[in-house]
Structure 1
Amino acid sequence: MSLTKPNQQLRRDLKEAAALLKWSGVDLMQAAVRISAAGQEDDSRELLRIAASYQAVEDRMIGYADEVKAGQIIRSKVANAKPK
């Protein structure tokens, strides 16, 4: 099934958000390793917890993008209206 332009844009936006979360999580994990090496275990664990939550949201965004592709989520014209 071919997607309308608004749905194509929605899918691209969801995939872009997922990629941003992925790379932000990678950056947080790297920072956690550096902080852990400096002896700040509590701070390191907190960063790892945040990175894990990013991964969970990333997975949901990818799932939503797949649902848009399958036609299960459709962007309506109202969603495209410009705020006044």
Structure 2
Amino acid sequence: MQTLSTEDYLKAIYHASQSANGTVATTSIANKIGAKPSSVTDMFKKLSDQKLVKYQKYQGVSLTNEGVKTALRIVRKTSFVGVFFGLTPKF
């Protein structure tokens, strides 16, 4: 199971990658979730160690196949809960 923070990053990367053709800049995710770019870079490294993203310094991040599967599972779960409780998703 992913931590809430990890889930937020995966959702943000997933949504941003849909409009960015796969690779997403660190600053884009930092702005989207309201974090410092250095914190985002640290999380990208952790997600890369877990084989959920491909991260290259100065090049950005993209989801691996496993990362896409995990992100979709998270997006579906949060969408279902949101619909059930009538909530609007943050991103």
Give the TM-score of the pair, scaled to structure 2: 0.32
Say which one has the larger Rg. Answer: 1
Which is richer in helix?
A: 1
Structure with greater contact order relative to length (CA < 8 Å, sep ≥ 6)? 1
Give the TM-score of the pair, scaled to structure 1: 0.35
